[in-house]
């Protein structure tokens, strides 16, 4: 898959692409990331990419023409049969979810446009942007961190990137539930706090059941709307419903 990134700050991406387990996703033949410095497409004589907003007010707006030159260069370099979606980032976008990440991971790539300042001239958005994504209800100073969030989430879904293929089948959300808690050595801390005994039993069926119940409990407590969505998608087994019903009876 090929991902093109149009940004005023290509340096923000380099460190991420060479560190951590996701590094392997960005090796040749996997997720091929191409960085396009927007400044290279600015208006002469000073490579201007932004100007003041019509109507007044604070901040600057990214200009249509440099963006169109950058996009044309990317589209020419991709030489695509089916054009990759142009994605931009905004608090007004659709909230990024694991299901969206999985859809991108299954596709042929995307062009990520990272805005700065107050944002992008709306005429460019209307004419060219296929999808606006938000990573949450807070205000950032640029689209680079959201683009990195999407790249990271995409990278770890690439085959062979996580050592164990099971690790992302057990992720939060892949089962529609939050992840169960995890424990490692020592079995007992100096203050006496122990690992839940179910995990020490060596009985894999009992361990799976404990983990499933912890995931159900945590999701019910913290994110009831996720539990409702999992139920609507048929992801809850009769045994899950029995466990949840028994918890409800206990808390009454």
Options 40, 65, 171, 209, the catalytic residue = 171
Least separation in angstroms between CB 165 and ligand 4HQ? 30
Least separation in angstroms between CB 94 and ligand 4HQ? 10
Chain centre distance of CA 76: 27
- Tell me if residue 50 is catalytic: no
Options 37, 53, 85, 91, the catalytic residue = 91
Residue pair 113/73 in contact (Cβ under 8 Å)? The answer is: no
Q: Which residues bind ligand 4HQ (CB under 6 A)?
A: 89-91, 115-116, 119, 134-136, 138-140, 142-143, 146
Closest to ligand 4HQ by CB, 23 vs 123, is 123
- Tell me if residue 118 is catalytic: yes
Closest to ligand 4HQ by CB, 134 vs 214, is 134
- What residues does 6 pair with on adjacent strands? 36, 113
- Tell me if residue 171 is catalytic: yes
Closest to ligand 4HQ by CB, 112 vs 227, is 112
Residue 7, token pair as written in the block: 């940004």
Half-sphere exposure of 175 (CA within 13 A, CB side): 20
Least separation in angstroms between CB 143 and ligand 4HQ? 4
Residue pair 166/121 in contact (Cβ under 8 Å)? The answer is: no
| Helix-, strand-, coil-residue percentages of the chain, each rounded to 5 | 45, 15, 40
- What is the rounded CA–CA span in Å between residue 227 and residue 177? 7
Q: Which of 41, 51, 30, 31 is nearest to 7 (CA)?
A: 41
Least separation in angstroms between CB 176 and ligand 4HQ? 23
- 90, with CB counted inside 10 A (0-12, 13-18, 19+), is middle
Options 116, 156, 211, 213, the catalytic residue = 156
Residue pair 149/95 in contact (Cβ under 8 Å)? The answer is: no
Per DSSP bridges, beta strands 32-37 and 2-7 are: parallel
Least separation in angstroms between CB 228 and ligand 4HQ? 25
Closest to ligand 4HQ by CB, 79 vs 92, is 92
Residue corresponding to tokens 């960085």: 35
Options 40, 43, 118, 209, the catalytic residue = 118
- Tell me if residue 196 is catalytic: no
Closest to ligand 4HQ by CB, 109 vs 143, is 143
140 SS3 class: coil
Which amino acids are annotated catalytic? 91, 118, 156, 171
């Amino acid at each position: 898959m090929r991902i093109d990134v149009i940004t005023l700050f290509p340096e923000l991406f380099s460190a991420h692409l060479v560190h951590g387990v996701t590094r392997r996703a960005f090796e040749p033949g996997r997720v091929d990331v191409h960085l396009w410095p927007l400044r290279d497409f600015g208006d002469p004589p000073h490579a201007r990419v932004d100007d003041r907003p019509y109507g007044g007010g604070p901040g600057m707006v990214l200009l249509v023409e440099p963006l169109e030159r950058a996009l044309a260069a990317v589209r020419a370099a991709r030489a695509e049969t089916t054009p990759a979606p142009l994605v931009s980032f905004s608090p007004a976008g659709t909230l990024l979810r694991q299901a969206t990440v999985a859809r991108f991971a299954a596709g042929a790539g995307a062009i990520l446009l990272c805005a700065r300042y107050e944002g992008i001239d709306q005429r460019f958005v209307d004419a060219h942007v296929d999808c606006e994504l938000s990573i949450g209800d807070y205000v950032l100073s640029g689209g680079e961190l959201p683009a990195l969030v999407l790249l990271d989430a995409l990278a770890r879904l690439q085959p062979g990137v996580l050592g164990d293929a099971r690790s992302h089948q057990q992720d939060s959300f892949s089962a529609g539930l939050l992840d169960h808690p995890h424990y490692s050595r020592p079995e007992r801390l100096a203050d006496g706090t122990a690992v839940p005994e179910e995990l020490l039993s060596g009985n894999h069926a009992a361990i799976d059941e404990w983990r499933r119940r912890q995931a159900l409990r945590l999701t019910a407590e913290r994110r009831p709307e996720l539990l409702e969505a999992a139920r609507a998608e048929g992801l809850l087994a009769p045994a899950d419903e029995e466990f949840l019903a028994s918890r409800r009876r206990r808390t009454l």
